[in-house]
């Protein structure tokens, strides 16, 4: 079983990496990009029967900094 965790900074938290990407895209001639938010995707190979709740605990304890980041979990 696989799980995919998307981790992004919460709204209102400054994203210097996203801003650097936005600036670089403009410098390369790509106009119209008004904002960029950068995050990470973590793919987990799980034993059958591992619950979504267990993955949520993994996120809360290690995979995401829940003070400044939010996460979404896809199980499939």
Domain encompassing residue 59: 2-75
CATH number at residue 61: 3.30.1280.10
Give how many domains the chain has, as a whole number.
1
Residues 9-64: tens digit of each pLDDT: 999 999 999 999 999 999 999 999 999 999 999 999 999 999 999 999 999 999 99
Q: Looking at residue 76, what is its pLDDT?
A: 87
Q: Would the pTM of this model clear 0.85, i.e. be above it?
A: yes
pLDDT of 4 over the 90 cut:
yes
Neighbours of 59 (CB within 10 A): 21
d(C-alpha 15, C-alpha 34), whole Å: 13
Q: Looking at residue 65, what is its pLDDT?
A: 98
C-alpha neighbours within 13 Å on the C-beta side of residue 61? 6
């Amino acid at each position: 079983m696989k799980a995919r965790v998307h981790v992004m900074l919460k709204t209102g938290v400054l994203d210097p990496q996203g801003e650097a990407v936005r600036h670089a895209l403009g410098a390369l001639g790509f106009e119209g990009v008004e904002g960029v938010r950068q995050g990470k995707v973590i793919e987990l190979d799980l034993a059958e029967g591992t619950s979504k709740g267990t993955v949520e605990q993994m996120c809360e304890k290690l995979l995401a900094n829940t003070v400044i980041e939010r996460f979404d979990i896809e199980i499939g």
